[in-house]
Amino acid sequence: KNQVEQSPQSLIILEGKNCTLQCNYTVSPFSNLRWYKQDTGRGPVSLTIMTFSENTKSNGRYTATLDADTKQSSLHITASQLSDSASYICVVSGGSYIPTFGRGTSLIVHP
């Protein structure tokens, strides 16, 4: 069964600090991996998308990495801001119409 596991479930950091969120998946075959940001009360918004051949992709202060051999991805947030407080969801697409969603990591940034 295709699965996406995210860790930690929740994280609290101080403004200005860096943090890394983890995503492990068992989806096969693999097409791409996406990270979404979901602000409270809103729908998810895509941050990055990576295919099999890409191992790093940045979007401003967000940097995603992918190790397709170990089936792991991470999302690194640099110099966190209060607006980074959100849920971050890892999504993996494979050979079917239905992508596999992780349950998300809830990040809280304190001033």
Partner 1 sequence: NAGVTQTPKFRVLKTGQSMTLLCAQDMNHEYMYWYRQDPGMGLRLIHYSVGEGTTAKGEVPDGYNVSRLKKQNFLLGLESAAPSQTSVYFCASTIDYTYEQYFGPGTRLTVT
Residue 92's beta-bridge partner residues?
33, 100
> Applying CB under 8 A, which of residues 14, 43, 60, 70 lies at the interface with partner 1?
43
3-state class (DSSP) for residue 31: coil
Under the criterion CB under 8 A, does residue 99 sit at the interface with partner 1?
A: yes
- CA-based radius of gyration for the chain: 13
d(CA 49, CA 47): 7
- Residues 57-86 touching partner 1, rule: CB under 8 A, are none
Under the criterion CB under 8 A, does residue 54 sit at the interface with partner 1?
A: no
Residues lying near partner 1 in the complex (CB under 8 A): 31-32, 34, 41-46, 49, 89, 91, 93, 96-99, 101-104
